[in-house]
A and B are shown apart, each in its own frame.
Chain A
Amino acid sequence: MRRVAVVGAGETKFSGAQTRSNVELFTEAAMEAMQEAGVKPRDIQALLVGNVLSDFEEGQQIVHAYIAESLGLSHVPANIYDGACASSAVAIRDAFIWIASGLYDLVLVGGTERAASMGTKLATETYAMYCDRHFEYPAGITFPGIFAMLTHLYAVKYNIPLPKLKEQMALVSVKAHKFGMLNPKAHMHRELTVEKVLKSNLVCQPLQVYDCCPFSDGAAAVILASEETARRLTDKPVFITGAGQASAGSLASQQDYLPHLIARTVAVRQAYQMAGRKPEEIDVCELHDSFSIAEILAIESLGFFEYGTGGEATARGETGLGGRVVINPSGGLKAKGHPVGATGAAQVYEIFHQLRGECGPTQVEGARIGMTDTMGASGSIHVNLILERGW
């Protein structure tokens, strides 16, 4: 198996509803990635795109085929990935496998979404389609609802009074927004305080608006290359040294593991094993903070903190700059935004630039080893990638 590196990454500014199409958004991110990598469209051998709802967003199916056309890719194989919120991470893991296998040398991979352009009503409705249609959806459950249920379960299981947990959750959102203020490409540029979070409207008890990530429009793209090609293109290749992926079903089907998500546990174990790394070696991690509780659960499942202590660790600043492991310096899904199909690629975009020391005010000092963590639906699809400096 050959080694595979990220050699370029691009991203649009994430935003609320806007008028550029998914094809326009993705091609913008792709051109930025190609420019950074020093490659041209005719060099690209395959296109892998994460996008879940372009049909509802724009009435456009097979958006990947039209992206290939717009970019002038030479009739290369093009795939589209629906892994819910993990779509472009699934795509990147696939691209990694395509190149590692020896069959491809240079692949363009990423994702795009216009979730905000759908408006809250249609976005909430279409997201709910990712629940079990027969055994969850008819109960009137939504994604905030799923994570609200996990919040209650977590409070009871780890004996944390709900007001204390809600404050810890609020601190996750406050941290995210602090980072978001420093990210010019973030959707949200606003200061949050614990008080503001706790005063925001209830979405699904006990989650409030600022515990939840926004619906966003945006795209992100990365260029993956074989080691040989990567070293010709750049003297700062970032290698994908670990990749894991796992699946699970409805929330109820995961009863033996909740509130933690079994697909993450399985995926991250694969990633650590492949990379030969331990949690304490990760300097920076972009993880799936779709809801504040989701970050607390993630930092525990990824092995950074003991189960039941994630909120406490956050409150102590252990996940901010200077902390044990910096979580979501991009602002995360919460502040950077969450254009569903693009999120996995956006996480790789951040880690890539972090490891190359290019992040300015949010730079994690001396970051050498990073991780991405992308979760689809209620832990139904999960991808973890470990990335390391190749110099």
Chain B
Amino acid sequence: MEYKISIEQYIAALKESRLLGLRCKKCGAITTPPRMVCRKCAGTDLEICELSGKGKIVTFTTVYVPPANRQGETPYLVIMVELAEGPWLMGNLAEVDPRSTGLELIGKRVRLIPRTQTTRDDRSSVPLFILDEETGHG
């Protein structure tokens, strides 16, 4: 049995700003990023779906001491998003000053945008978000 969406396919879709998930036909839960089984019931009867790319920030940090793949880029924001469809997903937040963020960031709505400013393939499996102010506050 193989992954319904391979990690490679997931990344390819993200590059086009499409967030893929798996809907469980048994319990209805949405799983993303891709796994072998449903994240809720461990079922294997899964169908591919496209998610909205929208959610809200549940927590975050601003990184000042980086790993190797981010040398020279600090500070930057890492966020945890609760997607509208349910799953939590780790990502980065653009267009917000990393130095002047506080707890007010938590609860803010975000939406997925393409990672266009980098040609680095090593980023492409983690989504990039911006604040989604158009839809008002949640």
Contact = CB atoms under 8 A, between A and B. Distances in A.
Nearest to B76: A140
A255 B30 CA distance: 13
Given A135-B126, A162-B103, A141 B90 contact: yes
B103 A203 contact: no
A347 interface: no
Given A134-B125, A135-B125, A142 B63 contact: yes
A84 B3 CA distance: 26
Contact of A152 (B60, B63, B73): B60
A120 B61 CA distance: 20
B33 interface: yes
Interface stretch (A86-94, A143-151, A182-190, A191-199): A143-151
A155 B58 CA distance: 12
A149 B62 contact: no
B66 interface: yes
A372 to B, nearest CB: 29
Interface stretch (A12-20, A121-129, A173-181, A361-369): A121-129
B103 A152 contact: yes
Nearest to A153: B59
Interface residues on B, range: 35 or more
A292 to B, nearest CB: 15
A128 B7 contact: no
Interface stretch (B20-28, B41-49, B81-89, B130-138): B81-89
A152 B67 CA distance: 21
A136 B65 contact: no
B65 A156 contact: no
A227 B124 CA distance: 55
A135 B90 contact: yes
Given A142-B66, A204-B64, A152 B59 contact: yes
B39 interface: yes
B28 to A, nearest CB: 16
A374 to B, nearest CB: 24
Interface residues on A, range: 35 or more
A140 B69 contact: yes
A313 B45 CA distance: 47
B64 A156 contact: no
Interface in B88-103: 88-92, 101-103
Interface string A248-269: 0011110100000000000000
A142 B65 contact: yes
B113 interface: no
Given A140-B69, A141-B90, A148 B103 contact: no
A139 B127 CA distance: 8
Contact of B67 (A125, A149, A250): A125
A140 B63 contact: yes
Nearest to B101: A205
B92 A252 contact: no
Given A140-B78, A140-B92, A255-B82, A152 B106 contact: yes
A149 B122 CA distance: 22
A205 B77 CA distance: 10
B129 to A, nearest CB: 11
B68 interface: yes
A251 B90 contact: yes
Contacts of A148: 61
B65 A203 contact: yes
B70 A205 contact: no
B35 to A, nearest CB: 9
B67 A140 contact: yes
A210 to B, nearest CB: 14
A248 to B, nearest CB: 12
A202 interface: yes
Given A138-B123, A141-B78, A153-B59, 8 more contacts: A135-B125, A137-B69, A138-B69, A138-B125, A149-B60, A153-B58, A205-B101, A255-B82
13 contacts: A124-B68, A128-B68, A135-B90, A138-B125, A139-B126, A140-B66, A149-B80, A204-B65, A205-B64, A206-B61, A207-B61, A251-B90, A255-B88
Q: Which 5 A-B pairs have the closest CB atoms?
A: A148-B61, A255-B88, A140-B70, A205-B62, A252-B88
